């Protein structure tokens, strides 16, 4: 995997629909295509596209241990709706135990460095395990989510994980997401109806006002934060 291959995929699939692109990737990279879901609105749409067509794409999620109860509920409802498996990855137990023993349960409020340390243990390291043996990593990133994602391409090489990321909903608006959910009867996290745009760990996520940035509810106490946890840092988003 490299940047040239990502550019090649952009050209090869330029006229394809999302469904056709997904099927093309499954055929081109058999057994090496994975999708990471956090059960947000975008991810529920992509999950429906994959499961409804029985595509041979591995789905996984990162359970940080700090999710909202509503997130676990939509996880369970998704399993029931499609009768499919979603692989769960947890952070290393010893590292979580050491972090809480030395710094307590809310160290991430104390400094950006502490917050990034927590994100690294609970998200970044489990992601690296989940992406072992994977060539194509599908994500739910959209340009309108933040200014750091505006310049993304549909296919981007991720040197940190040595995979190519495919962002099928990159150009979708929030209205398109909601319409797809309505048309296809897709279940979604009820927190979206309570003002939560981007949903992560419970202590680090809050509802936003209609005029606020999509990512304003994440790590709001960091005034100069780029509002990212490190999962997508290599794509400059």
- Provide the 3-class DSSP secondary structure of residue 235: helix
203 in Cβ contact with 106 (< 8 Å)? yes
User: Catalytic residue at 201?
Assistant: no
Q: What is the pLDDT of residue 236?
A: 36
Q: What is the pLDDT of residue 237?
A: 35
Task: Determine the Cα–Cα distance for residues 12 and 169; give it in Å rounded to an integer.
Answer: 17
Q: What is the pLDDT of residue 226?
A: 53
C-beta neighbour count of 226 within 10 angstroms: 16
Number of helical (H) and strand (E) elements in the chain, helices listed first: 8, 6
C-beta neighbour count of 115 within 10 angstroms: 20
Sign, CA torsion 88/171/157/28: positive
pTM, to two decimals = 0.89
Task: Determine the Cα–Cα distance for residues 112 and 22; give it in Å rounded to an integer.
Answer: 37
Beta bridge partners, 59, equal 35
Task: Determine the Cα–Cα distance for residues 112 and 82; give it in Å rounded to an integer.
Answer: 39
Per run of 10 residues, the mean pLDDT along the chain (length 237 residues) is 91 96 97 97 97 97 97 97 97 98 96 94 96 97 72 90 96 94 96 92 92 82 61 47
Host H or E run for residue 70: helix 69-82
C-beta neighbour count of 153 within 10 angstroms: 15
Task: Determine the Cα–Cα distance for residues 153 and 150; give it in Å rounded to an integer.
Answer: 9
Taking Cα atoms as reference points, which of 124, 111, 146, 128 lies closest to residue 216?
146
Taking Cα atoms as reference points, which of 52, 16, 22 lies closest to residue 34?
22
């Amino acid at each position: 995997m490299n940047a040239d291959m990502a550019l090649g995929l952009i050209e090869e699939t330029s006229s394809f629909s999302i469904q056709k692109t997904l099927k093309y990737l499954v055929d081109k990279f058999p057994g090496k295509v994975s999708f990471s879901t956090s059960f947000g609105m975008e991810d529920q749409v992509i999950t429906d596209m994959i499961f409804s067509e029985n595509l041979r794409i591995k789905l996984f999620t990162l359970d940080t241990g700090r999710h909202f109860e509503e997130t676990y509920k939509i996880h369970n409802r998704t399993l029931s709706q499609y009768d499919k498996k979603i692989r769960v990855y947890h952070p290393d137990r010893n590292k979580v135990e050491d972090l809480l023993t030395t710094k307590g349960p809310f160290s991430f409020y104390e400094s950006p460095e502490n917050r990034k340390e927590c994100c690294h243990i609970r998200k970044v390291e489990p992601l690296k395990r989940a992406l072992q043996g994977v060539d194509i990593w599908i994500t739910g990133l959209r340009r309108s989510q933040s200014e750091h994602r505006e310049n993304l391409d549909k296919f981007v090489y991720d040197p940190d994980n040595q995979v190519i990321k495919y962002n099928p909903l990159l150009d979708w608006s929030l209205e398109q997401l909601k319409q797809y959910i309505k048309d296809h009867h897709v279940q979604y996290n009820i927190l979206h109806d309570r003002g939560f745009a981007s949903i992560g760990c419970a202590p680090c996520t809050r509802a936003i006002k209609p005029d606020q940035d999509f990512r304003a509810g994440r790590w709001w106490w960091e005034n100069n934060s780029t509002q990212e946890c490190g999962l997508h840092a290599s794509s400059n988003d």
